[in-house]
């Protein structure tokens, strides 16, 4: 800055600015609404239009500039509002004044800057002392000390130069010769809150760890934001000496003294897309092989898993969030769970997806601490003794994908919150006086391991995973990934892995020596098999563009969806001549998942309509999931039983349970101790149940559900009859 302004000149220029740009009526309006309204917001463009040098001075001398503006506002207050303390807030800073959190340097210290990010956590709003009144314990003289730092400053002496408001003249003693008492009721306070702002996931390079910045908010800016909010914050970058075990260091911690907060648009934010990118995206959308290319671009170093990769591709693009006229909201995000044997590349798939999606967060259900996967209120060093509301992975990945590894090992608090997060897409926190509802509008990609090491296709998935059936039923698609020895497939997997390693070795050798011992022809052949069909950065931009498309179902697509749903439902009906209710193949919840998959298929083509082809693609993937998890695919779709996931108890098992209870009811009156086991086994055998199966069912009814009691060894009676 070549030009410096005196306080008088600054005051005169602010007065001229407020008059020329018609801010006088606005000042009066704020004064009339005081103290409910205490801020005057001024867009920077107005200051720049008035005088560009004056505007530039704000960035270099912000404290002086803002203080002069607020002083001038006080002088322009209408009669009767003289005591109003109105804060001047500058909004809409130009792009060249925006600084990425990771790019903040010492040159920005003391400057007025704007930062954009995701609110990671916030403390409780508590009063901070502004002007502390101290009373000398020797003479009673009161001294006012302005407080600017976090540590309370006491007077250095009891001043005897002038009397205080009570007319008492100080004794002149130094702080070491007297003591001072803080007069709480005469001191002035201001609301204060500490905020942690984290980089936006979509603005980071794939795999990079987010950096954060501490924000100090005061007065009417407190309580404005919640964890998960995407905001732009303007303020003065300040620093304070880092205190390490009460020893001074040469290092400083930085924080932003907040002046104004601006909420970012809630809609899915686009990545920066150049005209060249736009042309490529348009060309890709018209490509008939776009689906195959996207599948080939998902973790190409992993061999096979084509159905799973196609499902993950649909999850990347997602369905459509809908709000009905009655206020009911229907989620558009697709939840996918991978359940697999060890070494089946589940974690690698999760990490790859989070790198591809513009808003992806990877977390582990086992190692998450603090806020865990959802959100919580905690006391930690950041809050300096105050309660802090901290967002977990699901809140931070709002409008994106939360990839959660080892989902079966999450803590009890997360487990209870996940139900709400996956269906209502909100997370409610009520703890230590903090009550908040946070947005968690994200797709969940989970990975879990079977309890007993390997997945058994003959056992219900609910019995094999340490997750409640109510949570499993929230997933639109569940794919078991089994490692079954197969000579031909094993040979292809081994060949693919070896080629991947050979390519990695050749690339390093080429980088170090400028050439490689692998022939050019072999090098290109191997490279083609493990390189994504679409560059990851371009695919991220394609996903970002496609997610903003809102296709509508055609009559043909609706007919495919409806007829398939009805045909599968007809497979349930009744069995045994209508005597007993058969299994429920699918419910309306699965139909909604089917619709979401169709919507995602249309988005991949950037299409404005959902065609019958999209519905057929969704049907193929949906059928694969149903056959693997909730049905006996080898016997046909008519034997699907959604209760295997919805309740953890298939209809066949429920029929067996009802039969055992019926037998016990008939026999329990034959002895005073209840139905003898020998008689139960005899009647159960007549109904086609083995002795081993009867033992399992009795154990379940006695120990798990408590439906039967045993007053004497090997004698049982119904609890409801006891």
Task: Flag whether pLDDT at 65 surpasses 70.
Answer: yes
pLDDT on residue 66: 93
- Kindly report whether the global pTM for this prediction surpasses the value 0.85: no
- Report the range of poorest mean pLDDT among 245-249, 497-501, 618-622: 245-249
Provide the percentage of residues in the chain whose pLDDT is more than 90: 25
Sign of torsion over alpha carbons 208, 214, 220, 222: positive
- From residue 577, how far is each of 302, 574, 580 by CA, in Å? 49, 7, 8
73-78 long-range Cβ contacts below 8 angstroms, 24+ apart:
73/18, 73/27, 73/40, 75/11, 75/15, 76/15, 76/18, 76/24, 76/27, 77/27, 77/31, 78/28, 78/31
pLDDT at position 638 over 60: no
| pLDDT score at 584 | 54
Partnered with residue 180 across adjacent β-strands are: 136
pLDDT bucket at 133, cuts 50 / 70 / 90: very high
The SS3 of residue 647 is: coil
pLDDT at residue 311 in the model: 94
Specify whether 86 is located in the same domain as 103.
no
Comparison of pLDDT for 25 and 667, the residue scoring more: 25
pLDDT given at position 649:
59
Domain at 452, CATH number: 3.40.50.300
* Domain identity same for 318 and 439: yes
Residues 130 and 53 in one domain: no
Range of the domain at 313: 297-481
d(CA 477, CA 456): 18
In a domain, 2, yes or no: no
* Residue 665 and residue 586 share a domain: no
Tell me whether strands 574-575 and 580-581 are parallel, antiparallel or unpaired: antiparallel
The answer to whether 392 and 376 have CB atoms below 8 angstroms apart is yes
Q: Round to whole Å and give the CA distance between 553 and 595.
A: 9
1 inside domain = no
φ, ψ dihedrals at 70, nearest 5°:
-70, -35
CB atoms within 10 A of CB 285: 16
Q: Tell me how far apart the alpha carbons of residues 230 and 117 are, in angstroms, rounded to a whole number.
A: 6
Domain boundary among 646, 661, 696: 646
Phi, psi of 113 (to 5 degrees): -135, 170
Phi, psi for 566 (deg, rounded to 5): -70, -40
Mean pLDDT of 417-445: 81
**Is residue 525 very low, low, confident or very high in pLDDT (cuts 50, 70, 90)?**
confident
Alpha-carbon span 435 to 413, nearest angstrom: 16
Provide the pLDDT for residue 412: 72
Residue 644 neighbours by CB under 8 Å, 6+ apart: 460, 461, 462, 629, 630, 631, 650
Put residue 568 in one of left, alpha, beta given phi > 0 → left and psi -120 to 50 → alpha.
Answer: alpha
First to last CA, the chain: 90
Q: Rounded to 5 degrees, what are φ and ψ at 131?
A: -120, 110
Please choose, from the candidates 288, 303, 306, 307, the residue with its C-alpha nearest in 3D space to the C-alpha of residue 620. Answer: 307
Tell whether the model's pLDDT for residue 416 goes beyond 60: yes
Q: How far apart are CA 605 and CA 281, in angstroms?
A: 10
The SS3 of residue 499 is helix
Q: Are 157 and 88 part of one and the same domain? A: no
Note if the bond before 35 is cis, omega within 30 degrees.
yes
In this structure, what CATH number is given to the domain that contains residue 26?
Answer: 3.30.1640.10
Question: Tokens at residue 308, please?
Answer: 């799973």
Q: What is the spatial distance between Cα 65 and Cα 57, in angstroms, rounded to a whole number?
A: 7
Check pLDDT > 80 for residue 719. Answer: no
Does 486 reside within a domain?
no
CB contact set of 418 (below 8 Å; sequence gap of 6+): 373, 374, 394, 410, 471, 474
- How far is C-alpha 246 from the chain's CA centre? 37
Token pair listed for 405:
């590894």
In a domain, 387, yes or no: yes
Give me the helices (H) in 428-535, please.
461-464, 469-472, 487-513, 520-530
b/e sequence 445-458, b meaning 16+ C-beta within 10 Å: bbbbbbeeeebeee
Residue 300 structure tokens: 């190409």
Q: What is the pLDDT of residues 659-704, one digit of tens each?
A: 888 888 888 878 877 888 888 888 888 888 888 888 878 887 777 6
**Position 493 pLDDT exceeds 60:** yes
For tokens 């404290």, name the residue: 63
Relative to beta strand 87-91, strand 39-43 is: parallel
Decide: 334 and 478 in contact? Cβ < 8 Å: no
The CATH number of residue 674's host domain is 1.10.10.10
Structural domains counted in the chain:
5
498 falls within a domain: no
**Confidence tier at 608 by pLDDT (50, 70, 90):** very high
- The residue among 646, 676, 706 that closes a domain is 646
- Is residue 312, in this structure, part of any structural domain at all? yes
> What distance in Å separates the CA atoms of residue 637 and residue 623, rounded to the nearest whole number?
8
Do 318 and 401 lie in one domain? The reply is yes
Q: How many residues does the chain have?
A: 722
The mean per-residue pLDDT over the stretch 117-124 comes to: 87
Statement to judge: residues 144 and 251 lie in one domain: yes
In tens, the pLDDT along 214-229 reads 999 999 899 888 888 8
Quick: pLDDT tens for 289-344.
999 999 988 888 887 788 999 999 999 999 999 888 888 888 899 999 998 877 77
> If you write DSSP's letter for every residue of 180-219 in order, what string do you get?
EEE-GGGSEEEEEEEEEEE--GGGSPTTPPP-EEEEEEEG
pLDDT at 552: 93
Is 309 within a domain?
Answer: yes
Could you tell me if residue 292 is inside a domain?
Answer: no
* More confident of the two residues 712 and 89: 89
- What CATH number corresponds to the domain at position 134? 2.40.50.140
Domain check: are 421 and 460 in the same one? Answer: yes
Question: Tokens in use for 560?
Answer: 């495919």
Q: What is the dihedral of CA 40, 41, 44, 47, to 10 degrees?
A: -30
Domain boundary among 433, 463, 481: 481
Is 321 found in the same domain as 404?
yes
Backbone angles phi, psi at 369, to 5 degrees: -125, 175
Residue 613, pLDDT above cutoff 60: yes
- Residue with the two structure tokens 């070494």: 343
Instruction: Indicate whether 575 pLDDT > 50.
Output: no
- Kindly state the tokens that stand for 527: 């490279």
Q: Do both 124 and 195 map to the same domain?
A: yes
Query: d(Cα 271, Cα 543) in Å, to the nearest integer?
Result: 10
- 564 with 428, same domain? no
DSSP line for 608-645: SEE-HHHHHHHHHHHHHHHHHHTS-GGG-GGG--THHH
Domain match, 200 and 174 both: yes
Q: What is the per-residue pLDDT across 142-155, written as a single tens digit (0 to 9) for each?
A: 999 988 777 788 89
């Amino acid at each position: 800055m070549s030009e410096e302004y005196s306080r008088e000149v600054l005051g005169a220029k602010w007065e001229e600015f407020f008059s020329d740009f018609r801010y006088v009526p606005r000042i009066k309006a704020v004064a009339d609404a005081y103290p409910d309204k205490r801020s005057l917001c001024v867009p920077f463009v107005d200051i720049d239009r008035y005088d560009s040098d004056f505007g530039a001075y704000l960035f270099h001398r912000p404290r002086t500039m803002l203080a002069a503006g607020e002083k001038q506002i006080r002088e322009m207050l209408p009669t009767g509002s003289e005591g109003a303390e109105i804060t001047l807030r500058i909004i809409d800073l130009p792009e060249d004044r925006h600084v990425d959190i990771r790019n903040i340097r010492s040159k920005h210290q003391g400057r007025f800057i704007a930062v954009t990010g995701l609110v990671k956590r916030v403390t409780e709003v508590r009063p901070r002392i502004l002007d502390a009144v101290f009373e000398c314990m020797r003479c009673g003289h009161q001294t006012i000390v302005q407080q600017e730092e976090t540590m309370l400053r006491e007077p250095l002496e009891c001043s005897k130069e002038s009397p205080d408001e009570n007319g008492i003249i100080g004794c002149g003693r130094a702080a070491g010769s007297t003591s001072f008492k803080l007069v709480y009721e005469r001191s002035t306070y201001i609301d204060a809150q500490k905020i942690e702002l984290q980089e936006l996931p979509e603005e980071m390079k794939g795999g990079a760890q987010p950096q954060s910045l501490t924000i100090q908010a005061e007065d009417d800016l407190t309580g404005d934001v919640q964890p998960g909010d995407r905001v732009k914050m303007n303020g003065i970058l300040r620093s304070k000496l880092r205190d390490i075990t009460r020893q001074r260091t040469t290092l400083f911690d930085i924080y932003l003294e907040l002046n104004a907060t601006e909420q970012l648009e809630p809609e899915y934010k686009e990545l920066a897309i150049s005209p060249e990118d736009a042309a490529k995206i348009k060309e890709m959308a018209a490509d008939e092989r776009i689906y195959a290319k996207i599948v080939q671009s998902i973790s190409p170093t992993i061999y096979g898993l084509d159905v799973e990769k196609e499902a993950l591709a649909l999850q990347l693009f997602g369905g459509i969030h809908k709000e009905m006229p009655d206020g009911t909201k229907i989620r558009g995000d697709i939840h996918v769970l991978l359940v697999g044997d060890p070494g089946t590349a589940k974690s690698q798939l999760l990490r790859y997806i989070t790198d591809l999606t513009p808003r992806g967060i990877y977390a582990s259900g086992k190692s998450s601490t603090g806020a865990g996967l959802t959100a919580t209120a905690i006391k930690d060093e950041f809050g300096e003794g105050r309660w802090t509301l901290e967002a977990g992975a699901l809140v931070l990945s709002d409008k994106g994908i939360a990839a959660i590894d080892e989902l079966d090992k999450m803590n009890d608090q997360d487990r209870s919150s996940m139900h709400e997060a996956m269906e209502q897409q909100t997370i409610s926190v009520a703890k230590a006086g903090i009550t908040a509802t946070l947005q968690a509008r994200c797709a969940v990609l989970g990975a879990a391991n079977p309890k007993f090491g390997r997945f058994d296709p003959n056992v219900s998935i609910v019995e094999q995973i340490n997750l409640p059936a109510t949570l499993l039923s929230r997933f639109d698609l569940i794919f078991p990934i089994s490692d079954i020895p197969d000579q031909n497939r094993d040979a292809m997997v081994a060949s693919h892995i070896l080629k991947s390693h050979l390519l990695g070795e050749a690339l390093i050798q080429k980088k170090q020596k400028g050439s490689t011992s692998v022939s050019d022809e072999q090098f290109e052949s191997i490279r083609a098999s493990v390189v994504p069909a679409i560059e990851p950065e371009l695919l991220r931009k394609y996903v970002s563009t496609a997610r903003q498309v809102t296709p509508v179902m055609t009559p043909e697509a609706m007919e495919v969806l409806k007829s398939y749903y009805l045909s599968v439902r007809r497979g349930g009906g009744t069995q045994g001549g209508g005597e007993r209710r058969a299994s429920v193949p699918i419910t309306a919840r699965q139909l909604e998942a089917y619709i979401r998959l169709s919507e995602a298929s249309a988005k991949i083509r950037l299409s404005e309509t959902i065609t019958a082809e999209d519905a057929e693609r969704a049907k193929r993937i949906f059928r694969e999931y149903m056959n693997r998890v909730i049905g006996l695919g080898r016997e046909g779709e008519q034997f699907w039983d959604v209760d295997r996931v919805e309740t953890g108890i298939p209809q066949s098992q429920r029929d067996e349970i009802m039969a055992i209870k019926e037998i016990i009811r008939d026999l329990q009156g034959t002895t005073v101790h209840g139905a003898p086991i020998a008689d139960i086994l005899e009647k159960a055998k007549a109904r086609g149940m083995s002795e081993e199966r009867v033992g399992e069912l009795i154990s379940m009814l006695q120990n798990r559900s408590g439906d039967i009691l045993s007053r004497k060894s090997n004698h049982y009676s119904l609890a409801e009859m006891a």
